[in-house]
Amino acid sequence: MIFKILEENNVELKNQLEEMTSSTDREIETVRKGRFNDDIRSCCYDLLNVAIRNVDPVIRAVLSLIAHRSVDHLPSHSSLCQMITKGLSVAEMQLGETLTEEGRDNFTLQTDGTTKYGQHYATFDVATVDCTYTIGLRHVFSGSAQTTLDTLQEILEELDIVEEKLGRLSVKYNCI
């Protein structure tokens, strides 16, 4: 019985593969109802570490070299920026919800700093029992304790703006 089901699935997959490889239409549909489809959005999110100006050429190269297909329309620079902004907003909402969740009082604040080309940078992470969240990366003037504290308070105040708009508790009050 199981062998028959696997055999049927195998035949179906072979048919789909044949259809995909023999199709004369080599162009992939990227926009549906005036909006980029979820596959294109996911691909763009996966390429967030690629410079925005290189996202389009990278997608085109991969499709051409690997899938032997082309694409007519990809997100513009401004569309990619909007996707990043929306992703940041969702991340801030999730972080605020996690930090103000009732019964959540077991946090560890982790900070780190580095200097590159004479410029100082600081990162702030919050570790919970479940996972670690990066709450901010900032350019700072120095690595002093006062600068670190001021930068952390600035980040928490930014998170509070989101929380206030959502009608939720203050992150800063809950964490400090």
pLDDT tens, position by position, 88-125 = 888 888 888 887 775 567 788 899 989 889 889 999 99
Contact 152, 142 (CB under 8 A): no
Closest to 124 in 3D by CA, of 87, 93, 99, 89: 99
Residues 28-46 have pLDDT tens digits of 788 888 888 888 888 888 8
* pLDDT tops 70 at residue 57: yes
Contacts of 166 (CB under 8 A, 6+ apart): 93, 96
Residues 61-71 have pLDDT tens digits of 888 877 778 88
Task: Count how many residues are written for the chain.
Answer: 176
**CA 106, 112, 115 angle in degrees (round to 5)?**
170
CA dihedral sign of residues 27, 9, 46, 39 = positive
Q: What is the DSSP letter of 122?
A: E
Spatial distance between the Cα atoms of 176 and 167, rounded to a whole number of angstroms: 20
Sort strands 70-71 and 27-28 into parallel, antiparallel or unpaired.
parallel
* pLDDT tops 80 at residue 24: no
Residues 157-168 have pLDDT tens digits of 888 888 888 777
Contact 134, 123 (CB under 8 A): yes
Report the chain's C-alpha Rg in angstroms. 23
* pLDDT tops 60 at residue 126: yes
